[in-house]
Amino acid sequence: MIYKFMKVTARYPKLNQPYVWSDDANSYVGTTHETPNAAFYCDAFLTNEQWQEADKAIKKVWSEFVAEQEKAGKPIKKPNDFRNPLDEDGEGKGYVKMKLNCYDEKTSVRQLDSKLNKLPPNFELTSGSDINARVIIKAYKSGAQQGITLRLTDVMVNELADKADRPVDFEQGSGSFTLKQFEEMKIAEPIEPVVQEKVIFGDMQVEPETITESFEDEIPF
């Protein structure tokens, strides 16, 4: 089933290159298409109404999948126990998880601007941006794992948010060094004289002169 999320808020998008989870970094890291399990990711915050509509569509696809498996003689043992790509953050805000697995070097999520112009593959979508997202709702069962995945195919950027700084993972310390102290140090630094190199013209030799960098009175034109 093709489904569209309209005017939702991007959450931790990773579309400019493939990414893979790293236990050492405890986060997703950029990689290449050849890396096993590499994929493109983009979550999006939803309103309560958007959540309810998406939940209905997801459950419809899952119900149809369960019926197909039953008809094929491969019944789902626990049909009510499946992975749902709808989730909540620590503050209870609902969001949806979307991804596209890397199949080859041509795999990418098509990104468009608000006028439907295609953006370059390395365009870096930012968290907080207002987007539309097109996905294919797919049911799956692989061994003990079963559920719904949202295969992300297209993202349209309505409004691009400013890139946020990475959160600081420290608490304020008891040290005395501050930015203000650094700026005062820079102001107090002595002006280093600029010494011209000795110039030789044949048998003529010109001695260098020392010039201090004070150009307030010079006219540059």
* pLDDT band at residue 217 under the 50/70/90 scheme: very low
What is the spatial distance between Cα 148 and Cα 146, in angstroms, rounded to a whole number?
7
Residue 163 C-alpha from the chain's centroid: 10
CB proximity list for 62: less than 8 A, separation 6 or greater: 82, 139, 147, 148
Report, as an integer, the average pLDDT of 201-205.
Answer: 56
- Encoded tokens for 116: 């439907």
Contact 133, 111 (CB under 8 A): no
Q: What is the pLDDT of residue 61?
A: 97
CB proximity list for 142: less than 8 A, separation 6 or greater: none
Computed over every residue of the chain, the mean pLDDT equals: 86
Give domain 2-159's CATH superfamily: Nucleic acid-binding proteins (2.40.50.140)
Q: What is the pLDDT of residues 16-59, one digit of tens each?
A: 999 999 999 899 999 999 999 999 999 999 999 999 999 999 99
Q: What is the pLDDT of residues 87-122, one digit of tens each?
A: 988 888 899 999 999 999 999 999 999 999 999 988
* pLDDT band at residue 139 under the 50/70/90 scheme: very high
- What CA–CA distances, in Å, run from 135 to 13, 35, 53, 152? 15, 23, 14, 4
What is the spatial distance between Cα 22 and Cα 134, in angstroms, rounded to a whole number?
27
Cβ burial of 157 (10 Å; 0-12, 13-18, 19+) is buried
pLDDT at 123 over 60: yes
Domain residue spans of the chain:
2-159
* pLDDT band at residue 215 under the 50/70/90 scheme: very low
Q: What is the pLDDT of residue 211?
A: 47
Q: What is the pLDDT of residue 58?
A: 97
CB proximity list for 36: less than 8 A, separation 6 or greater: 20
- Encoded tokens for 49: 């109404």
Report, as an integer, the average pLDDT of 74-96.
Answer: 90
Top-confidence residue, 187 or 7:
7
Q: What is the pLDDT of residues 150-192, one digit of tens each?
A: 999 999 999 999 987 767 777 887 788 888 888 887 776 666 6
Q: What is the pLDDT of residue 73?
A: 93
Lowest mean pLDDT among 3-17, 149-163, 192-206: 192-206
* pLDDT band at residue 218 under the 50/70/90 scheme: very low
